[in-house]
Amino acid sequence: MNDAFELIVLGCSGGPFDRNLSGYLLSRRNDLACVALDAGSLLSGLEMAEASHHLDSFPIFDSKYKPPIELMRHHLKAYLISHAHLDHIAGLVINSQIDTPKTIAGIDPTIDNLRDHIFNGRIWPNYGDEGIEPQLAKYHYHRLPLHQPCPLAETSFTVEAFLLSHPRGYPSTAFLLENRGEYVLYFGDTSSDSLEIEKHIERIWSRVAPLHRSGKLRGILLESSFPREEADQAIYGHLDTKLTLRELHHLASFTEDNLEGLKVVITHRKLGLKKGVDAHEKIAHELQASSDLDCSFIFPKQGDRITL
């Protein structure tokens, strides 16, 4: 099966260091229109991708702008924001002053938080088309309904939004993106269904299981923020390695225990603070050593180019 999508890793960590925060550029292969899946890091990640020659497929080198800036300004067409926590929007906000007009898409609570608490003329100028005057209207807010595929402006993608809890009812989002009958599923930060009253992830697994069985689901981006020894951090609305595997097993229960060929990109691995401990490597080891699933784990690094 040929790869259908390309993913540029703008940032893959959940902090606490601010140089590498959640953000990914998704495009159809051979299509120059990109969608940002969150934007905690933006230009910093594009600069790392350029240094690794992962932007070479974009015809941007005759521009008057540096390649990362040209890509952001003219090839990045829309932002999909899962929730308005700073580690998912910092790059969008800081780089907005040099951006070009485009869409910010998200569910109502996410758009409300961006409008009222970020682009509000106090924290940052109001670059949106709602809220306090003056509205500079660089960004059009696209309020996504739940469970309904919607075209994403200026792209060939449709997106279907699903509610997540992060934590205890704080609204985060998963996005199911479709392009030419093939799909990628992106999770924002999420608590585990096993810790929540509302089983939001189960609804998502039920939706995408038929897509996997038919070979149309090309990849999942799912968090694993902590190794097992930090399982107490799950109360803040995240998955540790044990909970990540539990959720993937739940998906497998919808697919006759078969996840063969499914690529799972592990996101939001938090960097450790202790000397001599590489938390990223520990998370990767625990997932690979403990998994009896047939899926293929991918552990991205900032600036990577991944095909799905």
Predicted pLDDT of residue 97: 97
Task: Give the pLDDT mean for 173-194.
Answer: 97
Percent with pLDDT over 90 in the chain? 80
Give the β-pairing of 217-223 and 263-267: parallel
Predicted pLDDT of residue 168: 75
- Measured in whole angstroms, the distance separating CA 217 from the mean position of its chain's CA atoms is 16
Pairwise CA distance, residues 204 & 208, whole Å: 6
| Residue tagged 């991205």 (tokens) | 300
CATH superfamily of 5-307: Ribonuclease Z/Hydroxyacylglutathione hydrolase-like (3.60.15.10)
- Whether residue 273 has pLDDT greater than 80: no
- Whether residue 160 has pLDDT greater than 80: yes
Q: List helix spans (H) across the chain.
A: 43-51, 67-70, 86-95, 108-117, 200-213, 241-253, 279-290
Q: How confident is the model at residue 62 (pLDDT cuts 50, 70, 90)?
A: low
Distances (CA, A) of 142 to 36, 110, 112, 194, 276: 14, 11, 11, 31, 45
- Whether residue 289 has pLDDT greater than 90: no
Pairwise CA distance, residues 33 & 35, whole Å: 7
Q: For the whole prediction, is pTM greater than 0.95?
A: yes
Predicted pLDDT of residue 96: 98
> In the beta sheet, which residues pair with residue 186?
175, 221
Cα pseudo-dihedral 45, 51, 53, 54, rounded to 10: -10
